[in-house]
Structure 1
């Protein structure tokens, strides 16, 4: 089995190809360019280097969010187009689960955090340990203060990763003290290999989708949608 994984929801544009034994190829670029400019050239170069054709892929996995709304759409659209052309299924993967995946054997709470602006973060909590990753909460957007109050109640160490740590590390340390552990810098980046490996596990379980059913998971409304809702509420008064 071969699974392609793509993630453009966060800082990096990244894609990978995974088989049942190892990662065949991975590309990661973290530059100040739009993911739409970089993604397809990177994917084409990766397939060329791996001496593979997209038609050889058994399923196309995409990180579907949460994250940058534009970034989420780029990754989902790319996976859908490739799956349609190859006549293969798609697989939806949570961005937050993919971030946590590389640390799944950490003995404690795993807390990926993405900066959602407005003093909020995208977050999900997981148990890590010998049994691997076990989800505690659904993906959500919440105030950082609310998350830290929740985590103060746990007696286990909490491992943080994701671009939110670059913004909020000082505040997290001030609240949680020694209970807060921070992943290596590498694991603050979203990695296509994690999306592909989760995708491979889902493919084995039959958890696939027709390409037309792969959709973004934004978790919260966009700013434009929030403003529209506020206007509608105001007009009803």
Structure 2
């Protein structure tokens, strides 16, 4: 199966195509430019340079969340448009599961961390053993202090991934928990891992139509929170 994948959940933006577990091509950019300016040029250049089209792919995958509200909206909207135009199914991949896939070769407890502000991170925990990931928690927003207490009796070594990894490492270290960051080339989200996770979803029969593809938010957007009346 050939998958075109997009990743726009945080500051960096990337796209990739995989086929049966092999990465055919990828593009990555982390220069501070908005995803609305960079995503589609990356996809177009990547496909043009490899002689591929969206029609040559079996599905379009995207990191559907959690993550930056704006980034997730851009990625999901682009995936829906590409899939709808080519009449292809979609794969809605957990951003956190995809980043854990980066270090599936390391035997450890993988701590996924995205900065959610207000001393919280978007987080999920996965056991990584012999190249396979086992989910330990659902995707969630959790306080750093609460996460540290949860991990206090964990016997496995802790490996941290994601754009909030440095923040998480600092909090866990200050709480007396030994941990380490994933290697620099593996710590950040990337579309290659999104595509590999999408292949698993396809094998499990969990692809959806372009119309059914939706973003996943663990908290309401700030604008929505500000509109809500204060609780008395």
Question: What TM-score results when the alignment is normalised by the length of structure 2?
Answer: 0.95
1:24 corresponds to which residue?
24
For structure 2, list consecutive stretches of 5 or more residues without a partner in the other structure.
none
The answer to which of 155-164 and 65-74 deviates more is 155-164
Q: Secondary structure at the match of 1:216?
A: coil
Q: Residues 160-183 of structure 1: CA distance to partner in whole angstroms, max 9, x if unpaired?
A: 0111123343232222443x1210
1:202 corresponds to which residue?
201
Q: Secondary structure at the match of 1:137?
A: coil
Determine if contact 2:144/2:171 at 8 Å carries over to the other structure.
no
Q: Distance in 2 between matches of 1:144 and 1:222?
A: 21
2:135 corresponds to which residue?
135
Q: Secondary structure at the match of 1:122?
A: strand
Determine if contact 2:90/2:213 at 8 Å carries over to the other structure.
yes
User: Following TM superposition, by how much is the alpha carbon of 1:54 offset from its aligned partner in structure 2, in angstroms?
Assistant: 1.1
Q: Distance in 1 between matches of 2:182 and 2:188?
A: 10
User: Following TM superposition, by how much is the alpha carbon of 1:21 offset from its aligned partner in structure 2, in angstroms?
Assistant: 4.8
1:100 corresponds to which residue?
100
Question: What TM-score results when the alignment is normalised by the length of structure 1?
Answer: 0.93
Determine if contact 1:54/1:82 at 8 Å carries over to the other structure.
yes
2:220 corresponds to which residue?
221
Q: Residues 67-99 of structure 1: CA distance to partner in whole angstroms, max 9, x if unpaired?
A: 100000011011110000110100110000000
1:12 corresponds to which residue?
12
Q: Residues 19-60 of structure 1: CA distance to partner in whole angstroms, max 9, x if unpaired?
A: 115111001101111111100011000001111111111000
2:172 corresponds to which residue?
172
Q: Distance in 1 between matches of 2:176 and 2:58?
A: 44
Determine if contact 1:83/1:89 at 8 Å carries over to the other structure.
yes
2:91 corresponds to which residue?
91
Q: Secondary structure at the match of 2:227?
A: helix
Q: Distance in 1 between matches of 2:82 and 2:192?
A: 17
Higher helix proportion, which one?
1
Shift in CA distance, 166/108, structure 1 to aligned 2, threshold 3 Å: closer
* Count of residues paired in the alignment: 232
Higher strand proportion, which one?
2
Q: Distance in 2 between matches of 1:159 and 1:168?
A: 11
Correspondence list, 1:158-169, <5 A: 158-169=158-169
Q: Distance in 1 between matches of 2:81 and 2:151?
A: 40
1:119 corresponds to which residue?
119
Determine if contact 2:152/2:177 at 8 Å carries over to the other structure.
no
Q: Residues 213-235 of structure 1: CA distance to partner in whole angstroms, max 9, x if unpaired?
A: 11010111122222233x1x54x
